């Protein structure tokens, strides 16, 4: 008996015999409609297809067994072009992550509030590409840089905003759709905008700006997470939360962690008196298909503050982001002394390769 032959994507292309299917799957012995071609518990269908019908390999093997991962998930964090690291593949699963923004800074004396928000995480886009359907053999890429850190002098009311992260993109040849992820936005210092800026897409001042827009010393807006576009799935990164405090207190927030499909994480807040470093932002859940191939945590940087009556001068210290891809750095708030923030983490592209599961 013969059935219609199909390729790896279900396109009819001729006729093959049941014994040829058996041989393709590396099996031996007699073939019947109730036999098992694959060596698993998935039998051949027990009814004959109608004349002229096309069959798919999924009729003989379960959908989750049609493809299998080949090699390790590739991390691409530099360069302007990409070519496959594995040969003989049918699909590429691609994630792009934008660069993280850097946090803002603020210094005042003991009689005024001092606040700063962390930089936001870059966005994420995910898409599957078919080697046959999309004719992909290479891609033009762009890796978004992390926003550079900023520094500020000590004094009454010294303030500076952070810098934005850059956009990461994957533009394949052939007919595949381009995907991209914008970088996370900058954090802010006190008096650079109202806290309700967390619900807008318009930020109050530009990058590395000392401009103030309000008389409220203890208020600063949140940074805004970058966003993905062009993907089957597009995600927004976590932010550096805004602040609104009084009573001459001090507070700062950490940088955001990116969303890799299960939610981004907003930066944590440090607010007690004295020189303190906050907690590193929580890690997002990574894509299951990466396994242990991608070891970085993607965690946003901690915030720092130097506050409280009588704390004196001195630097607030540098916020951190690390090499976590897409993460924002924390904000820095100081009493009298100067300080600085770290750079946001650069973006990256992650490619997982799939071949036929024979």
| DSSP labels, 289-331 | GGTTS-----PPPPPEEEESTT-------B----S-SSPPPPP
Handedness of CA 228, 169, 352, 92 (dihedral sign): positive
Q: What is the pLDDT of residues 294-323, one digit of tens each?
A: 999 999 999 998 865 444 445 677 788 777
Check: CB of residue 332 under 8 Å from CB of residue 103: yes
The rounded distance, in Å, linking the Cα atoms of 255 and 341 is: 10
Higher per-residue confidence, 47 vs 74: 74
What pLDDT, on the 0 to 100 scale, is given for residue 207?
98
Residue range 149-163: average pLDDT? 93
CA distances from 333 to 41, 80, 107, 149, 209 (A): 62, 37, 6, 14, 16
Residue 11: pLDDT over 70: no
**Which residues face 159 on adjacent strands?**
106
The rounded distance, in Å, linking the Cα atoms of 205 and 186 is: 10
pTM: 0.81
* Residues in the chain, overall count: 358
Out of 3-7, 199-203, 342-346, which region has the weakest mean confidence (pLDDT)? 3-7
Residue range 154-173: average pLDDT? 95
The rounded distance, in Å, linking the Cα atoms of 241 and 304 is: 14
The rounded distance, in Å, linking the Cα atoms of 252 and 33 is: 68
Strands 219-220 and 158-160: unpaired
Q: Is 22 helix (H, G, I), strand (E, B) or coil?
A: helix
What pLDDT, on the 0 to 100 scale, is given for residue 35?
44
For residue 285, how many other CB atoms are within 10 A of its CB?
12
For residue 12, how many other CB atoms are within 10 A of its CB?
14
Q: Is 244 helix (H, G, I), strand (E, B) or coil?
A: strand
Check: CB of residue 145 under 8 Å from CB of residue 168: no
The rounded distance, in Å, linking the Cα atoms of 221 and 191 is: 9
What pLDDT, on the 0 to 100 scale, is given for residue 306?
82
For residue 346, how many other CB atoms are within 10 A of its CB?
27
Residue 229: pLDDT over 50: yes
Residues 6+ apart with CB under 8 A from 323: 296, 345
Residue range 209-227: average pLDDT? 95
Residues 290, 294, 297, 299, Cα dihedral to 10°: -90
Out of 137-146, 248-257, 269-278, which region has the weakest mean confidence (pLDDT)? 269-278
What pLDDT, on the 0 to 100 scale, is given for residue 309?
47
Residue 52: pLDDT over 80: no
For the beta sheet containing 269-270, the strands, ordered from the edge strand earlier in sequence to the opposite edge, are: 114-116, 250-253, 269-270
């Amino acid at each position: 008996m013969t059935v219609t032959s199909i390729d790896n994507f279900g396109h009819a292309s001729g006729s093959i015999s049941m014994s040829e299917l058996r041989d393709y799957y590396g099996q031996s012995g007699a073939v019947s409609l109730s036999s098992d071609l694959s060596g698993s518990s998935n039998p051949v269908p027990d009814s004959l297809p109608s004349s002229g019908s096309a069959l798919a390999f999924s009729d003989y093997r379960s959908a989750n067994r049609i493809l299998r991962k080949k090699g390790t998930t590739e991390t691409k964090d530099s360069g302007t072009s990409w070519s496959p690291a594995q040969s003989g593949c049918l699909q590429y699963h691609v994630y792009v992550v934008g660069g993280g923004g850097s946090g803002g800074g603020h210094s005042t004396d003991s009689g005024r509030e001092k606040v700063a928000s962390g930089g936001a995480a870059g966005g994420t886009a995910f898409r599957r590409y078919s080697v046959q359907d999309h004719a992909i053999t290479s891609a033009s890429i762009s890796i978004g840089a992390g926003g550079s850190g900023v520094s500020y002098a000590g004094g009454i009311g010294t303030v500076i905003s952070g810098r934005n992260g850059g956009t990461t993109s994957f533009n394949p040849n052939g007919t595949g759709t381009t995907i991209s992820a914008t970088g996370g936005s900058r954090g802010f210092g006190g008096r650079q905008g109202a806290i309700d800026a967390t619900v807008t897409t318009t930020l109050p001042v530009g990058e590395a700006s000392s401009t103030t827009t309000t008389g409220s010393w203890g208020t600063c807006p949140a940074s805004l997470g970058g966003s993905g576009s062009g993907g089957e799935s597009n995600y927004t990164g976590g932010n550096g939360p805004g602040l609104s405090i009084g009573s001459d207190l001090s507070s700062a927030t950490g940088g955001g962690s990116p969303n890799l499909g299960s939610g981004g994480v907003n930066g944590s807040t440090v607010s007690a008196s004295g020189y303190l470093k906050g907690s590193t932002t929580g890690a997002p859940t990574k894509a299951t298909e990466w396994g242990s191939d991608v070891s970085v945590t993607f965690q946003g940087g901690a915030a720092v503050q130097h506050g409280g009556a009588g704390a004196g001068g001195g630097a607030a210290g540098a916020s951190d982001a690390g090499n976590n891809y897409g993460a924002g750095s924390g904000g820095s708030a100081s009493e009298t002394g100067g300080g600085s923030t770290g750079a946001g983490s650069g973006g990256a592209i992650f490619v997982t390769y799939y071949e036929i599961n024979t």
